[in-house]
Chain A
Amino acid sequence: MSGTEIPLLGILFLPFLFAPFAPLLCRFFGKRAAPFLALVPLLVFLFFLPFFFPISEGKAIQASLAWAPLYGVDLSFYIDGLSLFFVTLIALIGSFIFLYADGYLRQHPHRGRFFSFMSLFMGAMLGLVTADNLITLFVFWELTSLSSFLLIGFDHERAAARRGALQALLVTGMGGLALLAAFLFLAQASGSFALSVILKEKDLLTHLPFADGLFILILLAAFTKSAQFPFHFWLPNAMEAPTPVSAYLHSATMVKGGVYLLLRLFPLFGTLPLWAVLLPLFGSATFLVGTLLALRQTDLKLTLAHTTVASLGLLVFLIGIGTPAALAASVFYLLAHALFKAPLFMVVGCLDHAVGNRDLRHLGGIGRLLPVLWGAALLAGLSMAGVPPLFGFVAKEMVYAASEGIGVVWGARGEIGALTLLVFGNALMVAAAGLVALTPFWGAVPSELLKSQGSPSEKALFLHKPGFCLSLGPVVLALLGVVSAGSLPFLTFWVLLPVLRTLLSGGSEAVALALPSLHALPTHLSTPLFLSGLTLLLGGIFYWKHTLLRSLIGALLTTIGWGPDRGFDQFLRVLLRASSAVTSRVQAGVMSVYMTVTCLFILLCLFIPPFLFQKFPALPSWPHYKLHEWALFGIAAIGLLTVVSAKTRLTAIVSLGIQGFAVALIFMEFGAPDLSFTQFMVETLSVFVLALVMTRLNLGARDARPGPRRLWDAALAIAIGSGFSFLLLSVIQFPLDMRLSEFFTQYSATLAHGRNIVNVILVDFRALDTLGEITVVLTAGIAALALLRIKKMHQEHQGQEENWTTVKETTTRDCTPSAAESGYLLEQKREGGAACKP
């Protein structure tokens, strides 16, 4: 390990180490816990700052901890420009979110638990963007899904929160499975689990016959995580989470996980023809759907959620174009988005917190009362709308400039289509920005709001006035949007170039040449500038007419009627119904059905392989046994015949015992005393247990099955029996490998000091197997006890209920289903209670 390795691993695991202590910290420091809580992300941020120096020189930093080296799986981390970009974003925004969350949840009884989850998430996210090993990456990927599940369902007493959490988990979890499959294929093809190695093999995919399938698996993972159409529905439902979670996970960081994955794998998959088709296609669809749905909403948080979906679509679209200019635009747009969306979410959370309402129809005129917050909202909103000189404007210019160049690939018509789509979508985004940053603060306070609060004047409007913790985050992040627009060369050198260098081959000079000139204020007339102006103009009109637009989109949606959100419910319902249909057929709760299903399955296993491989055992020659040995076989056969023909159940049980004892004697005769000994005991006990269980039943009536059913069961039994005979015949016709037997015979006395080889194997040579077996015995015992207890409770309950008439009691007692009952009683009970014989 080198000098930086141990501190690096330490800082990456710090959030996980911190998570269990967050509740203690909250309890100990109470209201003053905020600075301590925010310390962790801040530490991470400060720790990674010096990394910019080596990375801007094109170096990469590695650290690794052995996990399962035998399988090539290690906790290895690889930090290059792309990773560092995401890490700083996560840590920086995390610091403010932690502070903000402390103010937001100050009254919440489970504040500590919340910070545990947040810390867990931050650790998972940091791991995700720095992981080098594929398996490590996958584990962190799933951890982000899990922590997101915990955070969305944080208010687990609300059904909507639970649904949102489960939906997010199922959708992203499905993507996670696809990712695992893709990674395993990738590792198989390249022979390595290390991303840093795999990404260097540029021509890896050209040799792969299933490269397209692999790519689609990756897309499935990225699209579910980054809420691309048609998986976008989980993100708005995830807004059931507390606002800090929405601001952090569901706009600034976690949903960018998919984008990170696409960027990370761009060097490998970027050359696939499918890349340039599927990504722009789904990205633009998501962009359009997101912006349209955003204007449909009246809940400010949902508006923001849908614009987030749209922004993610735009990012995927840009990455799909894949030119250096488009990639540069995606990096800056990602940064800009994080810097304006997180503060906007936080502002909406503050509003919700302050006046208990976030419906834009009921909000207005709050700006005069909360000027600081309004300032932050305006800055962030203007950046989102792409007004110069804010960072959002720079990013949008880059988006337009990048899309300008795609005519080369897509033809003039494609370029015009793409640009029209972008202008239209961005104009809708401008309107959404207006709705969030302007409408609640502008004009007069609506009378509904005053009425709903029951307050006579504007001054008494607030439930809670946002304090320092709540205001700091939005203000600083919104200001950062201005600052970054003012320091474009700085950002280009320290952030953009290192990221692009990891994405594109060729030196930094080639990368720098590919960049468009960046400016926060327009310097000369150009097509992107014209498009930006058009966007703002159109956006203004959309904002002005937003009520009309909302009803139009609403009407459109009612006409379509069906959406993926409802489709998800339908899918789940169908899945549940199908599985319960299968389960109720296979596991009907009736013993005879269980037996039939199990026997049929065993039959398939027994008979398919011989027919498949055309291998049947040769018939054995007639054995020569002594007379008393024949007698033993005879006793066993007689026992069996008696079981089948017995008139009462008790006779059948006892006859089964006869057969068992005969088999035990056969074991004894043929030199297996241990086996015989055990068989005797097992037979005794099973007769005992069966007799106890079976006395529950009506011992007189042995068999209630109708004739055809008996024939079918008999056929099944004979088939199983002959199948096993075949199997045993084939086994003994193989030459027996004596090596193990010889080893045990030779060493049993010398190594294990025992002459009973069977027992030595059990307790010494193969003791671990025995340990597993006795664990099973204990578990089975506990399970049987639990079943018996349930039955006892059930009986007591029934007894109390039906004590009022002795007649009824006696009949039900006869019919009470017992744990091991054959089930025919139950079946017949369903058919009309014919089984209750007096």
Chain B
Amino acid sequence: MQTLIFRALAPYLTALIMVFAVFVFLRGHNQPGGGFIGGLIAASSLAIYGLAYDVRSIRRALVVSPIALAAFGLLLALLSGIPSFFFHLPFLTGIWESVWILGIEIALSTPILFDLGVFLVVMGAVGAVGLCLEENELS
């Protein structure tokens, strides 16, 4: 798979897919998309980069191990349920807050943190398995 064309293309492709993953994740609240699907897309971008180069370089690029990323995602999802306690609401009830930056309203909420957690878990877990499989194959 380490052809010249694929290798030359892979970084751009990976970056593009990653951006697309974030886009899909962010639009998920109102249009098709969301954390789960975004995470899958992100994982596939990792897989492409791993196929084109080697797994070691993508691990270096990620800095932390993908499974640690997944664990952090789970923690984030769990923590996003805590703020509702301060409003005497059940665990994981969504809390919304609007922030005005440069005249644009940006809605901040605990569900988006939760969704980010889902994103990271899916990307991390699927990515970790994919990378490990690639390592077994390509090394």
Contacts and interface: CB of A to CB of B under 8 A. Distances in A.
Interface residues of B, number: 50
A548 interface: no
B74 A752 contact: no
Given A763-B114, A767-B114, A781-B124, A756 B34 contact: yes
B92 A771 contact: yes
A782 B78 CA distance: 18
Interface in B117-139: 117-118, 121-122, 124-126, 128-130, 132-137
B29 A781 contact: no
A781 B128 contact: yes
Contact of B133 (A753, A755, A760, A788): A788
A684 interface: yes
Given A689-B129, A774-B73, A792-B136, A756 B28 contact: yes
A791 B135 CA distance: 12
Interface in B67-126: 67, 70-71, 73-74, 77-78, 81, 91-92, 94, 96, 107, 109, 111-112, 114-115, 117-118, 121-122, 124-126
B129 A693 contact: no
B128 A753 contact: no
Is the contact region of chain A dominated by helix, strand, or loop, or is it mixed? Answer: helix
Given A768-B91, A781-B125, A681 B44 contact: yes
Contacts of A696: 137
A685 B74 CA distance: 22
A738 interface: no
Interface stretch (A221-229, A297-305, A670-678): A670-678
B72 to A, nearest CB: 10
B43 interface: yes
A759 interface: yes
Nearest to A676: B32
B22 interface: no
A785 B132 contact: yes
A309 to B, nearest CB: 52
Contact of B125 (A754, A780, A792): A780
B117 A774 contact: yes
A753 B136 contact: no
Most-contacted residue by chain B among A695, A770, A791 (CB, 10 A): A770
B34 A762 contact: yes
Contacts of A789: 132
A584 to B, nearest CB: 28
B40 interface: yes
Contacts of A701: none
B91 A774 contact: no
Contacts of B11: none
A770 B118 contact: yes
B121 A754 contact: no
Contacts of A755: 29-31
A695 B126 contact: no
Interface in A750-780: 752-756, 758-760, 762-764, 767-768, 770-771, 774-775, 777-778, 780
Contacts of A762: 34-36, 115, 118
Contact of A774 (B44, B77, B94, B135): B77
Contact of B36 (A678, A688, A764): A678
Is the contact region of chain B dominated by helix, strand, or loop, or is it mixed? Answer: helix
Given A685-B130, A784-B129, A778 B121 contact: yes
Given A677-B37, A695-B137, A684 B44 contact: yes
A134 B49 CA distance: 61
Given A753-B96, A756-B32, A681 B40 contact: yes
Contacts of A767: 81, 92, 94, 111, 114
Nearest to A782: B67
A682 interface: yes
B69 to A, nearest CB: 10
Interface residues of A, number: 42
A191 to B, nearest CB: 31
B47 interface: yes
Nearest to A766: B92
A685 B40 contact: yes
A753 B77 contact: no
B34 A674 contact: yes
Interface in A668-715: 673-674, 677-678, 681-682, 684-685, 688-689, 692-693, 695-696
A681 B67 contact: no
Contact of B47 (A685, A780, A785): A685
Contacts of A764: 94, 111, 114
Nearest to B139: A792
Contacts of A673: 32
Nearest to B129: A784
Nearest to A760: B29
Contacts of B91: 768
Nearest to A818: B136
A763 B92 CA distance: 9
A406 B55 CA distance: 85
Given A774-B74, A781-B124, A753 B29 contact: yes
Interface in A359-410: none
Interface string A131-163: 000000000000000000000000000000000
Contacts of B24: 677
Contacts of B94: 752-753, 764, 767
B25 to A, nearest CB: 10
Contacts of B124: 778, 781
B53 to A, nearest CB: 16
Contacts of A792: 135-136
Contacts of A681: 37, 40-41, 44
A677 B27 CA distance: 13
Interface string A273-308: 000000000000000000000000000000000000
Contacts of B28: 756, 759
B129 A763 contact: no
Given A762-B34, A774-B118, A788-B132, A685 B43 contact: yes
Nearest to B92: A767
B98 to A, nearest CB: 10
A781 B70 contact: yes
B81 A756 contact: no
Interface string B52-76: 0000000000000001001101100
B115 A791 contact: no
Contacts of B74: 774-775, 778
Given A755-B30, A771-B81, 17 more contacts: A674-B32, A685-B44, A689-B129, A696-B137, A754-B111, A760-B29, A760-B111, A762-B115, A763-B112, A764-B94, A771-B92, A774-B73, A778-B124, A778-B125, A781-B128, A788-B132, A788-B136
26 contacts: A674-B32, A677-B24, A677-B32, A677-B33, A677-B37, A682-B40, A688-B47, A692-B134, A692-B137, A752-B94, A756-B30, A759-B29, A759-B33, A759-B34, A760-B111, A767-B111, A770-B118, A771-B77, A771-B78, A774-B117, A774-B121, A777-B70, A781-B67, A785-B128, A785-B129, A789-B132
Interface of B: 24, 28-37, 40-41, 43-44, 47, 67, 70-71, 73-74, 77-78, 81, 91-92, 94, 96, 107, 109, 111-112, 114-115, 117-118, 121-122, 124-126, 128-130, 132-137
